[in-house]
């Protein structure tokens, strides 16, 4: 018999033992982390024999763990829930399938369609007749946040949801999605000035008279972009905007010494082609903001040229910082030696001080 102390030690070892077993005994979950999906989309829960043994004539059993385990999917020699076998939990009826063509490679993965938040949890995949340890998979189903203002009015299109799908130094692919709108809205992308942007053909799907619309566009400059959904018939308009900060090299400040005497130097900071307009300031190496003249700002076609001058009287490293919409800071530095000539200068880029971009 175990003494109480031995028992507790043995209990502590159990999870470890389980972990070791499931890592070594020939089943694999393809991945270690949880499977994460958005509510209403499909989730594939992976489970395969590393031996790749054909399991068409075998038995495997998927359960969802809980106070009472739920029967998710059972396969036995070509019969399965919905086809020859019964006992599936109501929660999963009609939503779970295996991959028949994959069985011969030892692949017992399943797909759960149209997931709900209540599907979240831990699932086990077991081969009772084989010398295989169970596979444990965690599924996380993220709730979709529904726009509350539209919730009470059936059909009115909810606020579009926008996403940056891909971003490079000179462009970003933006996606706008409007789900469950009726009547059918028109959806368009606009820049901050309200100009309609060229976009790809919208993808439209309809179920029961309500429409899901996805619209992609590629943008080439930093700006605040709006996705606007309009339902003419009911005079309803809703929009979501997103700030896209592209690394326009032109909006990085450049610094020069305009004039230098034995007691001081006149410094110039120039930010050319900033879009949107930047706030520009001079700082010393301790971060103190220096007195400066009024910035000179000129605009051309939505982008701004800004110059800012300051006079310094001490040897130090000075930094000109350009801040775009509080979202990122770009700076350039210059080392100024009073009673001598400048020794070195450096430019740099600080990103994501507040966040690289904001999704509203």
- Chain residues that interact with ligand NAG, rule: CB under 6 A: 30, 44, 46, 48, 99, 102, 107, 109, 121-122, 138, 166, 168
Which CB atom, from 138 or from 212, has the smaller least distance to ligand NAG? 138
Which CB atom, from 139 or from 320, has the smaller least distance to ligand NAG? 139
Which CB atom, from 165 or from 346, has the smaller least distance to ligand NAG? 165
Determine the Cα–Cα distance for residues 30 and 135; give it in Å rounded to an integer: 10
In the complex, what is the shortest distance from the CB of residue 40 to ligand NAG, in angstroms, rounded to a whole number?
19
Which CB atom, from 210 or from 247, has the smaller least distance to ligand NAG? 247
In 3-state terms, what secondary structure has residue 17?
A: helix
Determine the Cα–Cα distance for residues 81 and 271; give it in Å rounded to an integer: 66
Location of structure tokens 């996805």: 214
In the complex, what is the shortest distance from the CB of residue 151 to ligand NAG, in angstroms, rounded to a whole number?
27
In the complex, what is the shortest distance from the CB of residue 354 to ligand NAG, in angstroms, rounded to a whole number?
24
Determine the Cα–Cα distance for residues 201 and 178; give it in Å rounded to an integer: 15
Nearest to 103 by CA among 64, 175, 52: 52
In the complex, what is the shortest distance from the CB of residue 174 to ligand NAG, in angstroms, rounded to a whole number?
12
In the complex, what is the shortest distance from the CB of residue 250 to ligand NAG, in angstroms, rounded to a whole number?
21
Which CB atom, from 210 or from 218, has the smaller least distance to ligand NAG? 218
Determine the Cα–Cα distance for residues 315 and 338; give it in Å rounded to an integer: 5
**CA angle, residues 303, 309, 313, in degrees to nearest 5:** 155
Which CB atom, from 138 or from 305, has the smaller least distance to ligand NAG? 138
In the complex, what is the shortest distance from the CB of residue 111 to ligand NAG, in angstroms, rounded to a whole number?
7
> Strand pairing partners for 61?
74, 126
Determine the Cα–Cα distance for residues 156 and 135; give it in Å rounded to an integer: 44
In the complex, what is the shortest distance from the CB of residue 3 to ligand NAG, in angstroms, rounded to a whole number?
27
In the complex, what is the shortest distance from the CB of residue 13 to ligand NAG, in angstroms, rounded to a whole number?
15
In 3-state terms, what secondary structure has residue 185?
A: coil
In order of 147, 272, 314, 327, 332, the CA distances from 239 in angstroms are 12, 31, 51, 21, 36
Q: Which two tokens stand for residue 283?
A: 């700082």
Which CB atom, from 92 or from 282, has the smaller least distance to ligand NAG? 92
Which CB atom, from 122 or from 296, has the smaller least distance to ligand NAG? 122
Residue 325's region, left for phi above 0, alpha for psi from -120 to 50, else beta, is: left
> Strand pairing partners for 323?
279, 329
- Quick count: other Cβ atoms within 10 Å of Cβ 201? 7
């Amino acid at each position: 018999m175990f003494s109480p102390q031995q028992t507790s030690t043995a209990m502590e070892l159990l999870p470890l033992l389980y972990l070791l077993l499931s890592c070594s005994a020939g089943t694999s979950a393809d991945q270690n982390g949880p499977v994460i999906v958005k509510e209403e989309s499909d989730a594939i829960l992976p489970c395969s024999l590393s031996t790749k043994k054909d399991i068409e004539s075998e038995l495997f059993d998927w359960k969802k763990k809980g106070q009472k385990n739920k029967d998710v999917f059972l396969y036995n020699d070509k019969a399965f829930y919905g086809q020859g076998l019964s006992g599936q939990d109501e929660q999963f009826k009609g939503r779970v399938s295996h991959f028949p063509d994959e069985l011969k490679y030892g692949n017992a993965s399943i797909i759960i369609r149209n997931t709900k938040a209540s599907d979240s949890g831990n699932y086990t995949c077991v081969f009772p007749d084989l010398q295989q340890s169970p596979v444990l998979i965690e599924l996380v189903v993220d709730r979709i946040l529904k726009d509350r203002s539209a919730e009470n009015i059936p059909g009115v299109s909810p606020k579009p949801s926008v996403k940056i799908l891909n971003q490079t130094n000179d462009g970003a692919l933006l996606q706008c999605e409007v789900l469950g709108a009726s009547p059918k809205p028109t959806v368009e992308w606009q820049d901050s000035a309200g100009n309609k942007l060229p976009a790809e053909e919208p993808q439209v799907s309809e179920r029961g008279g309500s429409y899901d619309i996805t619209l992609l566009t590629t943008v080439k400059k930093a700006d605040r972009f709006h996705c606007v959904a309009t339902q003419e018939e009911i005079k309803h308009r809703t929009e979501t905007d997103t700030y896209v900060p592209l690394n326009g090299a032109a909006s990085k400040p450049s610094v020069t010494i305009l004039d230098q005497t034995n007691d001081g130097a006149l410094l110039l900071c120039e930010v050319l082609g900033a879009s949107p307009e930047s706030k520009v300031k001079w700082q010393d190496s301790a971060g103190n903001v220096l007195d400066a003249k009024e910035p000179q700002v000129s605009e051309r076609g939505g982008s701004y040229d800004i110059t800012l001058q300051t006079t310094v009287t001490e040897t130090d490293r000075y930094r000109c910082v350009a801040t775009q919409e509080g979202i990122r800071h770009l700076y350039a530095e210059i080392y100024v030696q009073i009673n001598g000539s400048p020794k070195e200068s450096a430019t740099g880029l600080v990103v994501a001080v507040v966040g690289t971009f904001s999704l509203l």
